[in-house]
């Protein structure tokens, strides 16, 4: 068996789980990355005792986010190997630690980018658990969802509304909340909102912003996505690589959400913002984004960013998605074809979010 960290501190805090229904006696199975840029390999893992506040979930489906690819390839320099990736999990609770709250065995739940937080710092106590300095990423130093089972602190195991189509709900848990949170924080329904990059996050952002009532402009580098972006709810579609077209939108948008991880003509994009407008960055572009002071000062504009969302933000987003019938457009692969799925994501051809279905 491989030693992938189950979760930091879990062993020191462990007590007998109150319920152990469903935990397989022969351990978990998981697709494991042993090193950067290597194919994932199916392995058996020893789960160890369940922590007192932990919840065990049998994975049914797990979305494939670009962040999984970036962590697999150690693009951010923070990956820990061996790694079990996958952080858009849908499954059923199979066991709860004796101090776990809010979920019951058999319940349909989701787990996203974060699997635990300290629960006592100022951020956690304010409801901003995703900003906790000790927040535990699901796929770094912790086993993610490309596995038979995943574990997480009860606060981060989110019950799913019955109305959601569970097989396609996984991508909401990371990608969905990541684009919903800036809309909830910074948009009014009367706003003109631009979404940059129509991939996994971006296409959900268009759907959320349109359902919220905003006038949505989709910025894409792929002409083949123009019609689908309109079908997702964009009133306007513009090439993200056409600086002249961006120039024509000068001073018009109230909120721009960037989901790309590549360099674009940031000066022209900032120029599309109206007075009081905001560029909100969620895409993990590694090159610095140049922000000239005068592009902000004269029009009182802002630049901001955010990491996924709190448990409450996730639950609110799931309710909103259920109420407005918002679901990602997905391509399903059996989990056994996980390496093909990663290659498809890397090729940029996925339309628009890949979901892996557990087939162990």
What residues line the site for ligand NAP (CB under 6 A)? 65-67, 70, 174-175, 178, 197-202, 220-222, 225, 240, 259-262, 282-284, 307-308, 348
Beta carbons of 167 and 89 less than 8 angstroms apart:
no
> How many CA atoms lie less than 13 Å away from 303 in the CB half-sphere?
18
- Residue number with CB closer to ligand NAP (28 or 320): 320
**Minimum distance from CB of 201 to Zn ion (Å)?**
8
Count of residues in contact with Zn ion, rule CB under 5 A: 3
Smallest distance from ligand NAP to CB 36, Å: 16
> Which of the choices ligand NAP, Zn ion, none does residue 308 contact, using the CB cut-off of 5 to 8 A by kind?
ligand NAP
How near is the Cβ of 1 to ligand NAP at its closest, in Å? 30
Alpha helices, H only, the chain: 10-13, 66-72, 122-125, 170-171, 177-186, 200-212, 226-232, 243-248, 266-271, 293-297, 311-323, 338-347
**Cβ closest to ligand NAP, residue 155 vs residue 218:** 218
Cβ closer to ligand NAP: 47 or 175? 175
Q: Does 138 bind Zn ion (CB under 5 A)?
A: no
User: Residue 148 touches which of ligand NAP, Zn ion, none (CB < 5 to 8 A by kind)?
Assistant: none
Name the binder of 238 from ligand NAP, Zn ion, none, CB < 5-8 A by kind: none
Instruction: Tell me the per-residue interface mask from 172 to 211 with Zn ion, x by CB under 5 A, - otherwise.
Output: --x-------------------------------------
In angstroms and rounded to an integer, the radius of gyration of the C-alpha atoms of the chain is 20
* Shortest distance in whole angstroms from residue 67 CB to Zn ion: 4
Residue 236, phi then psi, degrees to nearest 5 = -140, 145
In three-state secondary structure terms, 201 is helix
As measured in angstroms, the least distance from the Cβ of 171 to ligand NAP is 8
Work out what residue 271 binds among Zn ion, ligand NAP, none; the CB cut-off runs from 5 to 8 Å by kind.
none
Could you say which of ligand NAP, Zn ion, none residue 282 binds, taking C-beta under 5 to 8 angstroms by partner kind? Answer: ligand NAP
Distance between CA atoms of residues 265 and 1, nearest Å: 48
Q: Report the DSSP pairing between strands 89-96 and 54-64.
A: antiparallel
Query: Minimal distance in Å, beta carbon 154 to ligand NAP?
Result: 22
Closer residue to Zn ion (CB): 178 or 217: 178
**Nearer to Zn ion among residue 67 and residue 136 (C-beta):** 67
Q: Report the candidate in 74, 14, 162, 87 with the shortest Cα–Cα distance to residue 356.
A: 87
10 Å Cβ neighbour count for 223? Answer: 9
Minimal distance, residue 29 CB to ligand NAP, in Å? 25
In the DSSP assignment, the letter for residue 82 is: S
Separation between Cα atoms, residue 22 and residue 190, nearest integer Å: 49
Q: Closer to ligand NAP at the Cβ: 58 or 177? A: 177
Q: Could you tell me the smallest distance in angstroms from the CB atom of residue 263 to ligand NAP?
A: 8
Q: Is 65 in the site for Zn ion (CB under 5 A)?
A: yes
Structure token digits, residue 81: 């190997």
Q: Does 135 bind Zn ion (CB under 5 A)?
A: no
* CA 266 – CA 203 distance, rounded (Å): 21
Q: How does DSSP assign 114-128, residue by residue?
A: EEE--SSSHHHHTT-
| C-alpha dihedral, 93 to 95 to 100 to 106, nearest 10° | 30
**Closest by CA position to 31, among listed 111, 86, 93, 90:** 86
Q: To the nearest whole angstrom, how small is the minimum distance from the Cβ of residue 94 to ligand NAP?
A: 27
Comparing CB distances to Zn ion, the nearer of 123 and 138 is 138
CB-nearer residue toward ligand NAP: 6 or 260: 260
Site for Zn ion, rule CB under 5 A: 65, 67, 174
């Amino acid at each position: 068996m491989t030693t992938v960290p189950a979760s930091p501190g879990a062993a020191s805090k462990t007590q007998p789980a109150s319920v152990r229904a469903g935990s397989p006696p022969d351990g978990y199975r998981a697709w494991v990355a042993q090193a950067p840029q290597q194919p994932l390999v199916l392995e058996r893992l020893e789960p160890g005792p369940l922590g007192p506040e932990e919840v065990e979930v049998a994975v049914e489906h797990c979305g494939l986010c670009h962040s999984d690819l970036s962590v697999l390839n150690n693009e951010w320099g923070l990956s820990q190997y061996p790694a079990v990736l996958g952080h858009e999990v849908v499954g059923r609770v199979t066991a709860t630690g004796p101090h776990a709250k809010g979920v019951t065995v058999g319940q349909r739940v989701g787990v996203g980018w974060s699997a635990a937080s300290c629960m006592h710092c100022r951020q956690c106590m304010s409801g901003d658990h995703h900003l906790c300095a000790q927040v535990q990423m699901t796929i770094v130093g912790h086993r993610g969802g490309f596995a038979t089972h995943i574990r997480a602190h009860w606060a981060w195991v989110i019950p799913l509304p019955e109305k959601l189509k569970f097989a396609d709900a996984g991508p909401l848990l990371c990608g969905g909340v990541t684009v919903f949170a800036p809309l909830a924080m910074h948009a009014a329904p009367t706003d003109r909102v631009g979404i940059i990059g129509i991939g996994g996050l971006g296409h959900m952002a268009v759907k959320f912003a349109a359902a919220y009532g905003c006038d949505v402009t989709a910025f894409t580098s792929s002409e083949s996505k123009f019609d689908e972006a309109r079908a997702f709810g964009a009133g306007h579609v513009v090439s993200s690589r056409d600086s002249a077209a961006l120039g024509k939108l000068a001073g018009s948008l109230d909120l721009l959400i960037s989901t790309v991880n590549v360099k674009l003509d940031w000066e022209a994009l900032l120029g599309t913002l109206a007075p009081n407008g905001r560029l909100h960055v969620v895409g993990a572009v590694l090159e610095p984004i140049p922000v000239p002071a005068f592009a902000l000062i004269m029009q009182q504009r802002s630049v901001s960013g955010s990491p996924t969302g709190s448990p409450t933000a996730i639950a609110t987003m799931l309710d909103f998605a259920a109420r407005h019938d918002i679901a990602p457009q997905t391509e399903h692969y059996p989990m056994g074809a996980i390496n093909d799925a990663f290659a498809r994501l890397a090729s940029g051809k996925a339309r628009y979010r890949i979901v892996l279905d557990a087939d162990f």
